[in-house]
Amino acid sequence: MLPALLMLGSALYVYRGYVVLAAARGERLQLSARHVATFTRESAARAVLTLLTPLAVGRARLPSEPTLSSPPVILVPGGWNRSSMWFLRAFLRRRGRVVMIVDRQGRDSSLAEDAMALKEVTTEICARMGTRRVDLVGFDRGGLVAAWYAKHLGGAETTRRLVCLGTPWRGTRTSVFRAGGAELRWDNPVLDPLVPPPIPTVCIWSPDDPEVVPTVSSAPTHGIDGVCLDGAGHYELLLSARAFRAVEAALRGAAEVRT
């Protein structure tokens, strides 16, 4: 019973996103096989992430690997806690990377507060691992948190590269449905100084993202490189093998740029 209710709730939430997306484009909702498949994957992805959320309790442990073959990677979640990025962490760790996830400070925390927490974690990791720089991977607003850190808190000195997944650079019209989403409202001038970040940045985005509306908000702009994943949803980016491969390629500096 619970799994069915969870899936139903996720489907209704995702459906709302596609309604907003269609309205923003001045289109009618379509029921093609492609759109139904995208909707189903997105609903299932959100259900899985919701189910995992209570499992991430306590403070995340810092990595303890004594040697590095590449800069440590810090994953910055969006509105979810660190459980949402467990799959990406596992993918990167299997490829020999040292990975840490930093949690959001609270459901209503600001970009500035989360960026300060990211700075503290980055400083601690650099000291422990004996390295000067890290790579950052941000999902959704996590990309904005990383950009805030790089722009306003000296993060450009300690960050080699930023990779973003579904990051709403100009905000999103769905922010009204989010807890603490005021900063992410569409065309919020607070976000303008974050583009472009003062570090090499790759943006992985989808024109079918129902959470970043209009989807152009997550598209590459102002010198940000981009990788377009056609047919991908928003939450799907946290479970998708092709999104993970794009992240790994971007971290190697070898991402295929397609806009």
- Give the pLDDT confidence score for residue 58 in this predicted structure: 63
Dump pLDDT digits (tens) for 161-219.
999 999 999 999 999 888 777 899 999 999 999 999 999 999 999 999 999 999 999 99
- Give the pLDDT confidence score for residue 259 in this predicted structure: 36
The C-alpha atoms of residue 232 and residue 24 are separated, in whole angstroms, by 18
Q: Name the stretches of the chain with pLDDT < 70.
A: 1-3, 31, 57-68, 254-259
- For the chain, domains (ranges, CATH) are 1-259 (3.40.50.1820)
The C-alpha atoms of residue 208 and residue 229 are separated, in whole angstroms, by 9
- Give the pLDDT confidence score for residue 36 in this predicted structure: 83
CB 134 within 8 A of CB 122: yes
Structure token digits, residue 65: 């690997």
- Give the pLDDT confidence score for residue 65 in this predicted structure: 55
Long-range contacts of 150-153 (CB under 8 A, 24+ apart): 150/197, 150/198, 150/199, 151/193, 151/194, 151/197, 151/198, 152/112, 152/115, 153/115, 153/116, 153/119
- Give the pLDDT confidence score for residue 257 in this predicted structure: 42
- Give the pLDDT confidence score for residue 174 in this predicted structure: 93
CB 204 within 8 A of CB 164: yes
